[in-house]
Amino acid sequence: MKIFKILFLLFSVGIFGQSNISGNPIYNFPKIKSSITMPVTIPLSEISNIINASVKDMIFQDDSYTDNDNDQFKVKVWKTRPIRLVGDVNQNILIEVPLKIWAEKGLGTLGVYTYQETTFETVMYFKTALSFKNNWTISTSTQPMGFKWVKKPVLDFGKIKIPITSLVEKSLKEQQQNFSKIIDKQMAEQLNFQQYAVLAWNAFSQPFNISEEYNTWLKITPINVNITPLKFYGNQINTNIGIDIFSETYTGTKPEASQPVKMVMNFNFIPLLADQFLLQTTANIPFSEATGIAKKTFLNKEFDIRNSKVKITDINVYGEANRIMIEAETEGYVNGTAFISGIPVYDEAKRKIVLSDTKFKLRTSNMLQKLATSLFKGKIVKMIEDEYGILTNDLETSSKKSIEEAFNKEYYKGLRMTGKVFNLKPHQILLNDSGITAVIDINANLRFTLKGF
């Protein structure tokens, strides 16, 4: 049974932490505490499969004429179709068992009997109250709910017709009580999720790669698990599972695994969880790419100063402390190197990473008048502020695609995950020796469907 390898998926979201790009030093980001919430759907057909697998087609057989005070009665009871389960509004499962019954009755006296047999069908009903205990086990209490005769059984001895409903029902009621115990026993054994929760928990102590493009590794440390009460519908059971976690992301370096556990903590029941969650991931823009954007925008561009022209002949982008530095070589009225630096921020309206708190420095061999220097500074700084920026459209689109691809998979046979990203945007811009790291906030939801316990 793979049902609670579901946890392997439940812990696989909520992304942020430490980064390393192509061998550069690791950022010592603190662990980020966050929560993830997702609906889980368990089709009642899957619980039905457990019950059907545990109940043989031949449910009951009495091959003796002389038992039960020499009742001269034999009976066999078969399951004719798979047992069917339906949820009701009172959080119970209604169980329907279709039966075929063969019966044979002897009529006579002093040891001389004439036997007649008949075959008929009925439906047996049960009600099961199901509860999920916070130690990951399922508790059920199944009660018989009687029969529905398609046609009442009658033995036809020609002139004598003998109804045997009471004889059959006596045997069926005894078996219905036994059958209730079988249902509870099988469900308790098959729906004990603690061992699978431990397997999933320890599987997740191994960090895994979530982005081949950025060589990004995710490490999750679960803290707490919350579950809303089970809700029963016509053909499924729904609940929401919320997990409080610490999450860390590493780019380029696989982190060490956490220590394995022998038992998963008990979960908490809470009345309501949100149906969306926030996760974070990182994407990286090398300075070589940032320089390429600057060259495409400004190389060989000219602008006027005091009836003369200044031309940008070369441009380079790199990081210095917490600022992006744009180094522009110019010729014409100003021959020299202009250094424009700024703190990178995300402009949501432009969907660009732009510069704020801009500073200017000029290195030149010719001495300019103070006014000319001021005019040059004003022109080039305004041009950089207005026109330079790293568009994040592609970055956001590729991140959304990557996350949704990870969300819409069947990671284990019978466990299907579907998810959708609702909103995605850069939240924080960080610098390192090799490039720019964008921390991306993502609003999403997930749904798990279990098939094949």
**Residue 322: both structure tokens together:** 């917490």
What local confidence, expressed as pLDDT, does residue 20 receive?
42
Q: Are residues 92 and 173 in the same domain?
A: yes
Count Cβ neighbours within 10 Å for each residue of 177-194 and write b for 16 or more, e otherwise: eebbeebbebbeebbbbe
Q: Are residues 204 and 158 in the same domain?
A: no
Strand stretches in 192-276, DSSP E: 208-211, 216-227, 231-232, 236-251, 268-269
Amino acid at 435: G
What local confidence, expressed as pLDDT, does residue 330 receive?
92
Long-range contacts of 338-344 (CB under 8 A, 24+ apart): 338/362, 338/363, 338/376, 338/380, 339/363, 340/380, 340/381, 340/384, 342/385, 344/429, 344/431, 344/436
Q: Are residues 326 and 416 in the same domain?
A: no
Q: How far is 368 from 362, CA to CA, in rounded Å?
A: 11
- H helix or E strand, kind and range, residue 279: strand 277-286
What local confidence, expressed as pLDDT, does residue 325 receive?
96
Where in the sequence is the domain holding 30, given as residue range(s)? 3-42+193-281+394-450
Q: Are residues 63 and 166 in the same domain?
A: yes
What local confidence, expressed as pLDDT, does residue 7 receive?
33
Last residue of a domain, one of 150, 172, 190: 190
Phi, psi of 57 (to 5 degrees): -60, -40
Contact 32, 428 (CB under 8 A): no
Last residue of a domain, one of 132, 157, 190: 190
Q: How far is 205 from 11, CA to CA, in rounded Å?
A: 10
Q: What is the pTM of this model?
A: 0.59
Q: How far is 132 from 234, CA to CA, in rounded Å?
A: 19
Q: Are residues 398 and 268 in the same domain?
A: yes
Q: Are residues 168 and 201 in the same domain?
A: no
Q: Are residues 338 and 257 in the same domain?
A: no
Nearest-5° angle of CA 273, CA 279, CA 283? 170
Q: Are residues 246 and 108 in the same domain?
A: no
Going by the DSSP 8-state scheme, the letter that residue 12 receives in this structure is S
Per-10-residue mean pLDDT of the chain, 453 residues long, equals: 34 33 44 71 82 77 77 82 85 88 79 80 90 85 88 76 78 82 82 70 68 69 82 82 74 76 84 71 84 93 87 95 93 90 93 93 74 83 90 82 78 71 87 85 73 54
Q: How many domains does the chain have?
A: 3
Q: Are residues 201 and 163 in the same domain?
A: no
Q: Are residues 159 and 139 in the same domain?
A: yes
What local confidence, expressed as pLDDT, does residue 345 receive?
95
Q: Are residues 82 and 115 in the same domain?
A: yes
Q: How far is 27 from 158, CA to CA, in rounded Å?
A: 94
What local confidence, expressed as pLDDT, does residue 296 receive?
92
Q: Are residues 325 and 310 in the same domain?
A: yes
What local confidence, expressed as pLDDT, does residue 32 receive?
65
Last residue of a domain, one of 373, 391, 409: 391
